[in-house]
Amino acid sequence: MAILNIITEEDPTLRRVSRKVDEITPRIIRLLDDMRDTLHKAQGAGLAAVQVGVLRRVVLVEVEEGKTIELINPEIIASSGKQNEVEGCLSLPHKWGVTDRPMSVTVRALDRNGNTFEMTGEGLLARAFCHELDHLDGKLFTDNAVRMVDESELG
């Protein structure tokens, strides 16, 4: 597996809309595996393919150590509640902001075998789903941050 380069906000690729995955090929499987290695090395909670320069609708989320969720062509099909929490991003190092996100989110996606599944996340997992799916549409958390937070405020 390979550790991929995570692009930062200066790269205009982050603002582009990712394309749907029409077929799960060995190249997509390798992308998932490489993204997992990259996410673990970066110690993040999630990673979208666009963050490694690949404009495909592929996302990984890991808010619980060792439980990586792979999402291909994900879409939010339901959400409820509200949370107002601090968020950061691997593509915006040392930037933090308070965002409004749903407390509960249900996503529908394909797994690496092409099977459709649904998963509901609460709290941090819901926030991670929203954050990573925003990346697929060229959006960054700073676009909807209520306010930015200085690192010294994080404790």
Residues assigned a catalytic role: 132
Sheet holding 58-61, edge to edge: 46-48, 58-61, 69-80, 104-110, 116-122
Whose tokens are 């797994």? That residue is: 111
Beta strands in 11-68 (DSSP E): 46-48, 58-61
Collapsing DSSP to helix, strand or coil, 5 comes out as: coil
Measured from the Cβ of residue 109, the count of other Cβ atoms closer than 10 Å reads 22
The pair of three-digit structure tokens given for residue 55, joined into one six-digit string: 């404009």
Q: Residue 149's closest CA among 89, 95, 93?
A: 95
Close Cβ partners of 50 (under 8 Å, ≥ 6 residues apart): 13, 14, 16, 18, 56, 135, 136, 138
